[in-house]
Amino acid sequence: MIDLSVAMIGRNESAVLARALASVQSVAREIIFVDTGSSDASADIARNFGARVFEFEWQDDFAAARNASLREASSAWILVLDCDEELIANDQGLLGLANACGTRAAQAFLVEIENLQRDGGLLRHSALRLFRNDPRIRFDNPVHESVGQSVYAAWPTQPIETAGFRLRHHGYARLDNSDKSARNEHILQKWLEREPLNIYASYKYGLSLAHRREPSAIEWLGRGFELLDRERDPQSYPFRHGLAQAFMQELRRYGLDGEAEKARARAARWP
């Protein structure tokens, strides 16, 4: 068993939770499940798999709930797992996880996530999901939360490698994710009310609108683009190229090819 705490948050996840818990039950020293207000059997399912269960009042802030789970962790390493994910626990994956948690040099690892699509295909991306149990590492952002900002702030020169194991995400294979999208947009709107000049929030809100083919996506992606273009060090924003591409794509969608070319030229000056 690895000196590892698996940190999870969830609400009304009884349909998928057992799969996630089963994938890590025999691997991690402890599982922490922070329940944000379930009315189903989620908490009981977690307890049946030996998880330590804690209640947390939902505040429209995923980072706050995530950080509550981190505060309860007692192992040397923490793996963040969503309820609709599972650890791919083959021999290679288990060895990769053990090797990552046995390192002395690294503070955090990127983890490759396989996103299962409705047609059975896979889309892959990586996220900072494995890291040391260190109070300097905490989540930021009320939605699309990440520990990246705190990791880079504490260890700005340390390269971050990809761990030798993968997670599989089943959420995109669901027939209807409209409730999740509406919830995230609501949180993004509240975030932007508090921080109207937040570049990342503008980007993510614009991207959400673009997925729904809302013309107002141009406004929000454009706001994020303009704010980022005024920054002294745009290279410090790892999402900068994604924002530029999304903005240009929306401009072209509505026939504004000339504006898209101007944006491309401006973004080309970013390191």
Write down all domains in the chain, each with its CATH number in brackets.
2-173 (3.90.550.10), 178-267 (1.25.40.10)
Q: What is the pLDDT of residues 78-134, one digit of tens each?
A: 999 999 999 998 999 999 999 999 998 899 999 999 988 777 777 888 899 999 999
Write down the pLDDT at residue 15: 93
Would strands 85-87 and 77-80 be described as parallel, antiparallel, or unpaired? unpaired
Token representation of residue 260? 């898209």
Q: How far apart are CA 8 and CA 143, in angstroms?
A: 15
Q: How far apart are CA 205 and CA 94, in angstroms?
A: 37
Q: How far apart are CA 63 and CA 168, in angstroms?
A: 22
Residues 8 and 25: beta-carbon distance below 8 Å:
no
* Residue 121 phi, psi (nearest 5): -75, 175
Write down the pLDDT at residue 180: 79
Residue of 176, 242, 187, 251 whose CA lies nearest to 215: 251
Q: How far apart are CA 155 and CA 225, in angstroms?
A: 27
Q: What is the DSSP string of 140-161?
A: BSSSS-BSHHHHHHHSTT---P
Write down the pLDDT at residue 174: 65
Beta strands, E only, 67-149: 77-80, 85-87, 108-116, 122-132
Residues 158 and 109: beta-carbon distance below 8 Å:
no
Q: How far apart are CA 25 and CA 30, in angstroms?
A: 8
Residues 54 and 132: beta-carbon distance below 8 Å:
no
Which residues of the chain carry a pLDDT beneath 70?
A: 173-178
pTM higher than the cut 0.75: yes
Write down the pLDDT at residue 30: 98
Write down the pLDDT at residue 139: 97
